[in-house]
Every structure is written in C-alpha cells, then in structure tokens.
C-alpha cells in the first residue's frame, strides 16, 4: 500500500482483498489446514491446540484491521477510476454541473485516448483544463493517501544526508529538496556552466 501512484482507492481495494484472504484462511484453519503458512510445515501438529491458536490470531487480526481501517465506501468514486464506465449510483452524489462535465468527458474521444495511455492522476490533471469542476473533485479524491510513504521516504533521505560523512551540515533544506524531487539534477550541465577556480 505504498508508492508514488498509490491513493485511497487503490489502498482500499488492497485492504478489502486482504480481509477476504483472512476469511479464506480462517475457513481453511477450521478444516485443520495450515497450508497458507509455510513456516508451520516443520512444526509438529498438536491437534486442536495449534489450529485454535491460529484461528484466534486470525480473528484478532481481522478485528484489529476493522478497528484501524473502518469501512470506506469507495464504490461511489468509481467515476474517478473510470469516467467512461460509470453507473448512476456512482454519480448520484455529484452536483448537476459535475454530472454535466462528466457527460462531456465521456464523449471526448481525445481525452479517452489520454485516459488509456496515462496514469489516473495525470489524466485528471489533463482534463482540468477543459473540465475544471469535475477534475478538481477527482483530484481531491485522488490526493488522499493512505500511508506514511512520503514521510518515510523523507526520513530515509534525511538519515542518508546526515550520515557520518556529512554530519557537519547545519542546514539540509536544499539537499532534502534535491533528494525528494522526482526531477533529477543534471550535474554535468551545472558543472559546465561553472568556471573552475584554480589555486595559485
């Protein structure tokens, strides 16, 4: 559930998939099968004690997941994922102006080609020029991220910058900006534009 293209919609799908796997695992454990846990192959089965422990653990895990990740109804955002295959249920909460713009998007063949060849967030950024209201709503939904991925990425960059070799740096703002940016600096070009200072 981490990465640059991750959003609340994709994370919700992954979470629902994991919860379904938990139910499948519980059903198999109730039938005394622990095949989904390869590390248990070497353990001598202790009858009902082992399966009951695993079953209790899976139930606790399921309860914890429900507590940390309450049910999010993302079906109403299906129009964000695929504006060309929407149902009246997924657009029921939209205002008239947003529904009109969505209808126009559905008939825009140039935009449909962009949808097929670009990531979802880029598609909506491209659509924002002609359909600002509905695109702003979609971008607002896609901007919600469900993990601390960016914070963890920043912390890793900071620890890398502030290692023993560079511990004398007082300000790391500019170095952090370079590390976290998806735009890579062209060091060779920067070096050719600078005049070397020779010692006398």
* Same domain? 131 vs 168: no
Going by the DSSP 8-state scheme, the letter that residue 76 receives in this structure is: G
Contacts of 65 by beta carbon, 8 Å cutoff, 6+ apart: 15, 18, 19, 22
Q: Is residue 36 part of a domain?
A: yes
**C-alpha distances in angstroms, 27 versus 17, 146, 162?**
16, 29, 49
Q: Is residue 78 part of a domain?
A: no
* Same domain? 158 vs 124: no
pLDDT for 160: 75
Number of domains in the chain: 3
Q: Is residue 15 part of a domain?
A: yes
Name the band, by pLDDT with cuts 50, 70 and 90, for residue 159: confident
* Same domain? 159 vs 135: no
**pLDDT of residue 104 exceeding 90:** yes
Compute the average pLDDT of residues 31-48.
Answer: 75
pLDDT for 3: 60
**pLDDT of residue 145 exceeding 70:** no
Compute the average pLDDT of residues 126-155.
Answer: 82
Q: Is residue 111 part of a domain?
A: yes
Query: Can you say how many angstroms the Cα of residue 43 is from the centroid of all Cα atoms in its chain?
Result: 37
Q: Is residue 124 part of a domain?
A: yes
**pLDDT of residue 97 exceeding 60:** yes
* Same domain? 152 vs 124: no
Phi-psi region of 126 (alpha: psi -120 to 50; beta: other; left: phi over 0): alpha
pLDDT for 117: 92
Q: Is residue 24 part of a domain?
A: yes
* Same domain? 136 vs 155: no
Contacts of 98 by beta carbon, 8 Å cutoff, 6+ apart: 133, 134, 137
**pLDDT of residue 39 exceeding 90:** no
**pLDDT of residue 127 exceeding 90:** yes
* Same domain? 155 vs 120: no
Task: Give the residue among 147, 145, 125, 144 at the shortest CA–CA distance from 134.
Answer: 125
> 118 vs 177, which has greater pLDDT?
118
> 129 vs 156, which has greater pLDDT?
129
Q: Is residue 133 part of a domain?
A: yes
Expressed as residue numbers, the domain containing 172 is 148-180
Q: Is residue 190 part of a domain?
A: no
């Amino acid at each position: 559930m981490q990465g640059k293209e991750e959003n609340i919609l994709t994370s919700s799908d992954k979470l629902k998939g994991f919860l379904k796997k938990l139910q499948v695992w519980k059903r198999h454990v109730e039938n005394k099968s622990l095949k989904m846990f390869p590390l248990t192959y070497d353990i001598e089965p202790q009858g009902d004690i082992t399966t009951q422990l695993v079953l209790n653990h899976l139930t606790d895990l399921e309860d914890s997941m429900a507590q940390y990740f309450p049910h999010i109804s993302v079906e109403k955002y299906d129009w964000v994922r695929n504006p060309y295959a929407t149902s009246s249920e997924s657009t029921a909460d939209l205002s008239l102006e947003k529904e009109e713009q969505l209808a126009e998007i559905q008939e825009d063949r140039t935009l449909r080609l962009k949808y097929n060849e670009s990531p979802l967030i880029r598609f909506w950024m491209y659509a924002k020029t002609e359909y600002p209201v509905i695109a702003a709503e979609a971008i607002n939904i896609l901007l919600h991220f469900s993990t601390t991925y960016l914070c963890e990425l920043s912390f890793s960059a900071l620890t890398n910058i502030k290692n023993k070799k560079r511990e004398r740096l007082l300000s790391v703002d500019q170095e952090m900006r370079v590390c976290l940016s998806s735009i890579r600096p062209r060091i060779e070009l920067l070096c050719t534009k600078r005049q070397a200072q020779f010692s006398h």
